[in-house]
Structure 1
C-alpha cells in the first residue's frame, strides 16, 4: 500500500496529507525464548574412580602407604611364623620345625640356621635326631639348642655327630604357658604396628579428617585384626582361653 501512495504522489506532483500515508508496522518475529540450565558446580568424579586410585592426592603419600604396608606385613608374618612353632609344640606334634629358632655360631660373631650345619629327623614319633655334618660343629650345635631356650628341649649326645632330643607331650600347664606367651607376643606386635602407623602419619603431616589419615588408620586396623585372628586360632588349637 505504501508504494501505491508514493507513485500517485509523483504523478500528480502533490503531497498527500499525512493521514493518507499508510504506515505498515512490520512485526518482527522474535526468536523463541530459550531456557538454560543453571550453572551449578560440577559434581566430583571421585565416585567413578576405582578405590585403589582414590586414596591419596600425592605420590609421596601413596609411596609412604606402600612402605608402611610392607613393614606391617613383615611384622605380622614374623608373628605368624613364631606362633606356628609354638602351636606345634602345644599340640604335641613333633616336627623338625620345633628347632627352627635355633642359631649356631660359626666364629667371629657369625651365626647360621641349624639346617645349614645339620639335618633334623624324627624317631618313634617323639624323638628328634640331629645329625651334624661336621663333628667339629657338634658342640656349637648343642650350645645353639640350649641358647634357643625352647621349653622342654634338652639335647643328649649319642656320638660325635648325633644329638637326641626327647620331646615330652605337653601338659595342660604347658599349653596355658604357651598361650600366655603367644598373647604377650601378640601385644608386642600390636605395639609395633601402632608405632609404624604413628611414624607414617607424623611424617606425612596430614590434615585432620583427611583421606590419608583415614586410609592409614584402616591399614593399621587391618593388620591388627590379622594379629587378633592368629591369636584366636592359636588359643583354639591349644585348647586355652
Structure 2
C-alpha cells in the first residue's frame, strides 16, 4: 500500500516536471529552437493540428527557424498561424518554405522572461508539494483505519519527503539552466 502511494506521488511529481519543461519551452530565448513553435496550431482541412504534424521545423542558423510544410498549399495557413500565436514572431515566406527570424531580446524583455520562468518554476514546486500533501494524507488515512502502523506511516512520509526534495532540486536545476539561457546575450 505504501509503495502504491509512493509510486502515485512520484508519477504526479514527474508530470509536474514535464509541465514545467513545456512551460519553459514556450519562453523563447534569443536563439532559435524548434520547440518554440510546439504550441502553434494550424487549421489543416478544418482540424486544428499541431504545426509539427504538418511541417518540419529546423534551425537554419542561430537566429532563424525554417518551417517546411509537407503540402505546399499550407504555406499561407502556417504563416498566418505563426503570426496569430502569442509568440511575437513575424514569419516570412520564400517559395515553399517559411523563415521565422528570432527578434533580439532587450535587457528588459530578458528580465521579464526570467520573472516568468521563476513564476513557472514556483508553480512546479507548488504542484510537487501538493502531490506530497496528498500522499501524506493517504498515509494518515491508512493509519487512522489501522491498516499501517505509526512507524510505517513515518517511514512512508520520510520516503515521500525524499522524493519531494529530489524533484524540487530538479525544478531548481531546470530554472537555473533557463535563467542562464535567457540572460546569455
Please give the range of the TM-score, normalised by the shorter of the 2 chains: 0.7 to 0.9
1:206, 1:213 within 8 Å by CA — same for their partners in 2? no
Confirm whether residue 64 of structure 1 aligns to residue 8 of structure 2.
no
Where does residue 127 of structure 1 map in the other structure?
64
Counting only pairs closer than 5 Å after superposition, residues 77-226 of structure 1 correspond to structure 2 as 77-83=18-24, 86=27, 89-90=28-29, 92-106=30-44, 110-112=48-50, 114-123=51-60, 125-150=62-87, 152-159=88-95, 161-204=96-139, 205=141, 207=143, 210-226=154-170
- RMSD in angstroms over aligned alpha carbons? 2.8
The structural deviation recorded for 1:143 is 4.0
| Structure 2 CA distance for partners of 1:136 and 1:200, relative to 1, 3 Å | farther
| Structure 2 CA distance for partners of 1:143 and 1:61, relative to 1, 3 Å | farther
| Structure showing greater relative contact order (alpha-carbon pairs closer than 8 Å, 6 or more residues apart) | 2
- TM-score, normalized by length of structure 2? 0.76
5+ residue gaps in structure 2? Answer: 144-149
| Structure 2 CA distance for partners of 1:106 and 1:194, relative to 1, 3 Å | farther
The structural deviation recorded for 1:174 is 2.0
**Residue-pair matches, total:** 175
| Structure 2 CA distance for partners of 1:188 and 1:107, relative to 1, 3 Å | farther
| Structure 2 CA distance for partners of 1:110 and 1:81, relative to 1, 3 Å | closer
Question: Which structure shows the bigger proportion of residues in strand conformation?
Answer: 2
Once the two structures are overlaid, the 10-residue window that deviates more, 184-193 or 75-84, is 75-84
Aligned partners of 1:212, 1:144: CA distance in 2, in Å?
Answer: 49
| Structure 2 CA distance for partners of 1:221 and 1:148, relative to 1, 3 Å | farther
5+ residue gaps in structure 1? Answer: 1-59
Question: Which structure shows the bigger proportion of residues in helix conformation?
Answer: 2
| Structure 2 CA distance for partners of 1:124 and 1:216, relative to 1, 3 Å | closer
The structural deviation recorded for 1:158 is 3.1
1:96, 1:128 within 8 Å by CA — same for their partners in 2? yes
